[in-house]
């Protein structure tokens, strides 16, 4: 289910495709399928950016959380008074409080030199946020792979979010993470993060429904200039839903899982020389 698979050249020719609809498939805003769950997550992130909220968007690998974050960044390009702050430390396990403070200074005041002591740097960050807010700017801190960052850094984020100017929050925070972060937010098993868990609003991206699945597949092939009906038999959706259900009965119909399953089914169909993908083929791959 999790193994990546691409269409072979033989498969692409067999189905008369001009490209692999699952390879590098997000090139523009028109390539994004937005389910109801994605839409709720998107609006939660946008609200945090506009009004200084503190939210976590979590989902399985391949559920579409990064794509939704990319859409938010794309849409915020036209909102001149919202500035995005994104720490660039690649390994989030090494993301410290100092790194986060540095990123705020670098992104909001690129010509300023971060102070060396913790107290001086904290004051510099607050002054930078206040000054930018006085000029009419709002700020949102976005961090991906948040499930990896240390507890101490998560606590710092909560304290940064509490910085205000009167009744106005000076910084919105959007965290994007895999489900492991929600486990760390359990105040019974991890009480040291209760101050974060009790204040951070959590939104979970759900698997695609049967309705969403059909719309998603249709979009993928339409963007590849082909109709899904010419590739899959009409009754394939149930087989896809069944194949992507785990042993405990939980649906795993996330975009990446769907892509891998359909690529595998199409490759198998081409190998046996069948004209179209059937539920039987999907059930066996």
* Mean per-residue pLDDT over the chain, rounded: 93
Q: Give the start-to-end residue ranges of the domains of the chain.
A: 9-31+207-284, 36-204
Check if the beta carbon of residue 61 is closer than 8 Å to that of residue 252: no
Place of tokens 């001149």: 80
The CATH classification number of 9-31+207-284 equals 1.10.8
Two tokens, residue 103: 């990123």
Fold identical between 9-31+207-284 and 36-204?
A: no
Q: Note the pLDDT of residue 2.
A: 59
Four-way CATH pick for 36-204: 3.30.300.180, 3.40.50.150, 3.40.50.300, 3.40.50.620:
3.40.50.300
Strand ranges, E, within 112-267: 138-143, 164-165, 168-169, 172-177, 201-204
Check if the beta carbon of residue 22 is closer than 8 Å to that of residue 263: yes
Instruction: Examine the pLDDT at 4 and tell me if it is beyond 90.
Output: no
pLDDT single digits (tens) 102-161 = 999 999 999 999 999 989 999 999 999 999 999 899 999 999 999 999 999 999 999 999
Give the burial string for 87-98 (b: 16+ CB within 10 Å, else e): bebeebeebebe
β-bridge partners, 142: 174
pLDDT single digits (tens) 83-115 = 999 999 999 999 999 999 999 999 999 999 999
How much is the pTM?
Answer: 0.91
């Amino acid at each position: 289910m999790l193994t990546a698979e691409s269409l072979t050249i033989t498969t692409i020719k067999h189905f008369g495709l001009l490209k692999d609809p699952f390879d590098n498939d997000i090139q523009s805003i028109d390539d994004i399928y937005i389910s109801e769950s994605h839409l709720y997550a998107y609006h939660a992130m946008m609200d945090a950016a506009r009004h200084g909220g503190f939210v976590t968007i979590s989902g399985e690998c391949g559920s579409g959380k990064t794509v939704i974050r990319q859409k938010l960044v794309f849409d915020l390009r036209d909102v001149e008074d919202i500035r995005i702050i994104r720490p660039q430390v690649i390994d989030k396990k090494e993301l410290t409080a100092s790194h986060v403070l540095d990123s705020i200074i670098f992104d909001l005041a690129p010509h300023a030199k971060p102070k060396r002591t913790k107290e001086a740097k904290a004051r510099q960050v607050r002054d930078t946020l206040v000054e930018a807010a006085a000029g009419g700017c709002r700020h949102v801190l976005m961090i991906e792979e948040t499930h990896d960052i240390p507890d101490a850094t998560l606590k710092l984020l909560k304290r940064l979010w509490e910085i205000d100017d009167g009744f106005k929050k000076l910084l919105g925070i959007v965290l994007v993470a895999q489900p492991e972060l929600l486990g760390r937010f359990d105040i019974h098993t991890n009480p040291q993060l209760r101050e974060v868990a009790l204040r951070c609003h959590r939104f979970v991206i759900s698997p695609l429904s049967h309705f969403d699945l059909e719309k998603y597949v249709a979009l993928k092939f339409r963007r590849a200039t082909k109709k899904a009906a010419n590739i899959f038999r009409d009754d394939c959706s149930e087989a896809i839903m069944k194949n992507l259900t785990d042993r405990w009965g939980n649906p795993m119909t996330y975009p990446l899982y769907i892509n891998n399953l359909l690529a595998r089914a199409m490759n198998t169909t081409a190998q046996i020389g069948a004209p179209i993908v059937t539920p039987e083929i999907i059930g066996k791959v």
